[in-house]
Structure 1
Amino acid sequence: METSELFWFFNLTIINKEKMDSLPENLKAALKANRLLPLVGAGVSMSITKKGGKPAFPSWRELLEHAQQALKAETKDNDAELVRIFLEKNDYKSAAKFAYEGLKGNTWFKFVREELDIDFDAVDGSSLELPKAIWGLSRQLITLNYDKALEWTCPNKENVCVIDNNSHAELSAFQTGSLIHPSVWHLHGYISNAAELILTPQGYSNLYPLSESSVIRYEAALQVLRHLILSRTLLFIGCSLDDVDLLAELLNQQKIFSDGVGPHYVLVHKDHKDSIEKRISSNNLNIQVIIFSEYGRPLVDLIEKIKDVNDVKEVDLAALNVHPVVADEKFMKVALLSANPVNDEQEYGVLYKELAKLGLLVS
């Protein structure tokens, strides 16, 4: 290999390491120690589109607006008006209460399935990049969403373990990280069990205590959530941090352990930085903001950058007696020779990716 080719090999390795330096050290350490736990919110599902470009899933507000229309179709005008009033006040849980009560029974279950249990064949596969990228961060995911987007995009989707708040044995294994297969915990319910969706005030009170004396239905799930808040590093993706019940649990754990919890992290669009930081500050939460420039590819690139922390290894050029030089223009391709010594497996994924992007890799 020519000297200029050696330059490309080592220089690209160092560049990749430097790209990681903009990430918080605690975040990188959590990823390397397998303590990073993505918590996926509605923004991820809302990035998915159907063939033809329409959104595959509604936002919470859109879901309730559709429920209002369904109530009118059932001549439940009073309930429809109550839903409208509470939507105007941005009181989504109260709006959901009257939507549920007005459509109660099979009409409600049919409604939520039509809204959330969509056919995978109707989805534009190119819009699944974000949930696919998230799986690169961990084999364990928590989601606040009801849909199947994370199951669709799991690299081992045939064996993915789907957990709800009644899956007591699986919740215990999720807490200890002992599940054999990749796993998704639907913290607020799963569309395949529509009766257990946490959407109304009653549903939220089944998981989050209203007071210290409250008796809750999903005790095991709450205990696991509290343990994970304390022992893992949460990375909020697609979350606006407006779920007051979840934030209250985060703050409660901080108080119990004298702020010895976290830091946790949230990925935030640059235009929402100020509002999210204000929300974090007003709630006194130990959550650090990581900014991305735009939705779509820039957000996916940021997640892949975080994932690549595990692939980047610092190279000691002096120890290898290699002296980087400026590459001659005549060298337009790189012949990369790799090896995996016994009991010392190497990771070349990032390097291959960067060389391929530059069109320099000799096949």
Structure 2
Amino acid sequence: MIDSATHNDLVLFVGAGVSMESKIGNTSPPSWDKLLSSLSEVVNKSNNVDFNSILEKNLLEAAEFIRFESQKNGREQEVIDKILDLVDSPNGEQFKSNDWHDAIELLNPNIIITTNFDSILERKFPGYSKIDLTDLKNLPQKVRTRKSIIIKAHGTAGNPGTILSQGDYMRNLKDSHQLYDVINSLLLTRTCLFIGYSIGDLDFQVLLNNTKNSIHNNQISHYILTPEIPPYRKSMFRDAYGLHALEYTVNQNGSHQDGIEKLKSLGEIASTKGA
């Protein structure tokens, strides 16, 4: 992985855990279960469905419920607006980057793939070209020419077409197959590092469901930077998804600073070797 980072070949996947460290006062982007719970208040106004029981059992099903109800009741724009408010711009004020983003800057990957809806990465790295679901035609060329790019694999808050659920992915497959062709190609040819993801995250489940063959069935190693996990989960990451766990310690205050320092160290080592 260090060699890949040194030669600017490392592909970085960025999940919700990175954005959740950004704050405006005491407000931060929500976890997936809190996001879905807030969205359910928009679409399930009649309260005739016990959404919490769905949420507790299966995040994917909970997301499908929200998408179905928003379409049935004509509340799709309300859901789009609510996502933007919650994950990127509460009350119109934009979340700023945090220490995770500074560590990413040290690592200096030329390709960042994020399933996050927010635009914190784009604001942190204005020199990167943003590739969204609505603008995929230039993606293969930019990957081949080693342009610095941020790929918004599940769309951007405030825009229609965000991929909230597995059903969204399947419905958008015809239009966005080029995106996953590129992602699968990168997984087959480049070392990848996943940060800010947990196995329970909705976006991670959708991503893994649609790329697991490319991750698992090749000779290139991929890694996930994760808080300490039990041995069975490390085995699951490795055997089911081909991901090697790089663990860090979360302190008693819930700080992920140890993970940030490990990512910084990787960037510093790669920078030194490449000098």
Using the alignment, how far apart are the partners of 2:90 and 2:53 within structure 1?
32
Question: What's the CA shift string for 1:264-309, capped at 9, x where partnerless?
Answer: 0110112x253531321451x3221111123433222111110112
Structure 1 residue 177, shift from structure 2 partner:
4.0
Q: Whose radius of gyration is greater, 1 or 2? A: 1
Matched, 1:92 2:59: yes
Using the alignment, how far apart are the partners of 2:135 and 2:116 within structure 1?
17
**Residues 176 and 119 (structure 1 numbering): CA distance in 2 closer, same or farther, change over 3 Å?**
farther
Aligned to 2:38: 66
Check the 8 A contact 2:114/2:150 in 1, yes or no.
Answer: yes
TM-score normalised by structure 1 residue count: 0.65
Q: Matched residue of 2:138: which SS? A: helix
Q: Matched residue of 2:137: which SS? A: helix
Matched, 1:144 2:115: yes
Check the 8 A contact 2:16/2:197 in 1, yes or no.
Answer: yes
- The alignment covers a number of residue pairs equal to 263
Using the alignment, how far apart are the partners of 2:9 and 2:198 within structure 1?
22
Q: Matched residue of 1:169: which SS? A: coil
Structure 1 residue 219, shift from structure 2 partner:
1.5
Check the 8 A contact 2:165/2:206 in 1, yes or no.
Answer: no
Using the alignment, how far apart are the partners of 1:108 and 1:251 within structure 2?
29
**Residues 192 and 160 (structure 1 numbering): CA distance in 2 closer, same or farther, change over 3 Å?**
farther
Structure 1 residue 171, shift from structure 2 partner:
1.2
Using the alignment, how far apart are the partners of 2:85 and 2:133 within structure 1?
23
Check the 8 A contact 1:207/1:222 in 2, yes or no.
Answer: no
Q: Matched residue of 2:180: which SS? A: helix
Matched, 1:308 2:268: yes
Identity of aligned residues (%): 22
Using the alignment, how far apart are the partners of 1:106 and 1:165 within structure 2?
18
Check the 8 A contact 1:71/1:77 in 2, yes or no.
Answer: no
Check the 8 A contact 2:224/2:243 in 1, yes or no.
Answer: yes
Matched, 1:202 2:163: no
**Selected match of 2:245 from 283, 289, 295:** 289
Runs of 4+ in 1 over 6 A off after TM superposition: none
Aligned to 1:276: 233
**Residues 254 and 38 (structure 1 numbering): CA distance in 2 closer, same or farther, change over 3 Å?**
closer
Structure 1 residue 40, shift from structure 2 partner:
0.4
Match runs of 1:1-363 below 5 Å: 27-50=1-24, 52-55=25-28, 57-71=29-43, 75-78=45-48, 81-89=49-57, 91-103=58-70, 104-118=75-89, 122=93, 128-137=98-107, 138-154=109-125, 157=126, 159-179=127-147, 182-193=148-159, 195-206=160-171, 216-242=174-200, 243-253=204-214, 259-270=217-228, 272-274=229-231, 276-283=233-240, 285-294=241-250, 295-312=255-272, 347=275
**Residues 120 and 107 (structure 1 numbering): CA distance in 2 closer, same or farther, change over 3 Å?**
closer
* Structure 2, unaligned runs of 5 or more: none
**Residues 152 and 44 (structure 1 numbering): CA distance in 2 closer, same or farther, change over 3 Å?**
same
Check the 8 A contact 1:253/1:261 in 2, yes or no.
Answer: no
TM-score normalised by structure 2 residue count: 0.84
